[in-house]
Amino acid sequence: MKNSVAILSDIHGNAHALHAVMQDIDAQGISERLCLGDVAGYGGSPCECIDLLREHDMPCLQGNHDAMVALGIGLDGVKDATRFSIEWTRSVLSPEQNAWLTGLPLKMQAEDYEAVHASLHHPADWAYVLIADAAALSFPHQSRPLCFIGHTHRPAFWVEGEALGVDITSIESLRPNRKCLVNVGAVGQPRDHDERACYAIYRRDTQDILWRRVPYDIAGAQHVIIQASLPANFAQRLELGR
C-alpha cells in the first residue's frame, strides 16, 4: 500500500498485540509508520515493545503512561493498580530504555499531517477527546488538515465545525477544506468492545483513513501480565475489549 502511513497508539506493554500489528503493517507494504505513545503501562512486556519500535526505527511520541514511567509526572490521582504497574514498569526497564521514553516528543508535524498523544490543546495535560467540545479545543492549534491522536483507546473521527463525531465504519474519507481529527484506536488495550488490536492507515492516494483490526494471542498477553504479578484486571479486560 504505497504512499500510506500506518499510525498506532496505546501499546501498553502488550508485545503480543504489537507483533501482530507490525506483521499486518508489513503485509500491507507500508514503510512510513508512526507511534502516538503509551508504549508502556498495564502490560507485562514493556521492554520488548520498546525494543521492537526501536528496531524498526519507528518515530514515537510520548504518552501519559510513558511520562509517568520515565519522568514520574502525572501520578497524582491515578488508581493504585495503575500506580503499581507504573512502578513495576520502571523497575524492569533498562536505563537506556528509560532514557528513550524520556526523550520522546509530545507532538510532531509532517508535511500533510500532525500528531499528538492526547490533544493539541495543552498536550502535556493529557486531555481526553471524547466529545465534540474537546475536539473543538484542539482544532485551533492544528496547522495541518489532518491530526492523529490516541489516548482514549477508541477509534474516532472529528470534523471541525461539526457538533458530533462521525459514526465511523472501517473507512472514512477526509473532508476537503475541513480540518479532521482522527483517533487511531489502541493496539494493546482496546476499549470499544472489540478485543482485536486496532491501528489506522492514512491513505494519501484516496485521501481516507482505514482502521485495521488485527487478532492476536490474547491468552499469551494475559499470561505475561499474570506472570509479572500485575493486577489481574489488566489481563481480564483484554478479552473484553474494555
> For residue range 17-37, what is the model confidence (pLDDT) as tens digits?
999 999 999 999 999 999 999
Residues 6 or more apart from 188 whose CB is under 8 A from it?
A: 10, 11, 12, 13, 14, 17, 18, 42, 43, 49, 197, 221
Which of 125, 1, 4 shows the shortest CA–CA distance to 74?
125
Number of domains composing the chain: 1
Q: Which pLDDT tens digit goes with each residue over 140-195?
A: 999 999 999 999 999 999 999 998 899 888 899 999 999 999 999 999 999 999 99
Instruction: Examine the pLDDT at 1 and tell me if it is beyond 80.
Output: no
The single-letter DSSP state of residue 98 is H
Q: What is the CATH number of the domain that holds 100?
A: 3.60.21.10
* DSSP strands (E only) in the chain: 4-8, 32-35, 107-109, 114-116, 146-149, 156-159, 171-173, 180-183, 197-203, 208-214
Q: How far apart are CA 39 and CA 104, in angstroms?
A: 11
Domain containing residue 95: 4-239
Kind and range of the H or E element at 88? Answer: helix 80-92
- Rounded to two decimals, the pTM is 0.96
For residue 158, the model assigns a pLDDT of 97
Instruction: Examine the pLDDT at 75 and tell me if it is beyond 90.
Output: no
Q: Are strands 114-116 and 107-109 parallel, antiparallel or unpaired?
A: antiparallel
What is the helix, strand, coil percentage profile of the chain, to 5?
A: 35, 20, 45
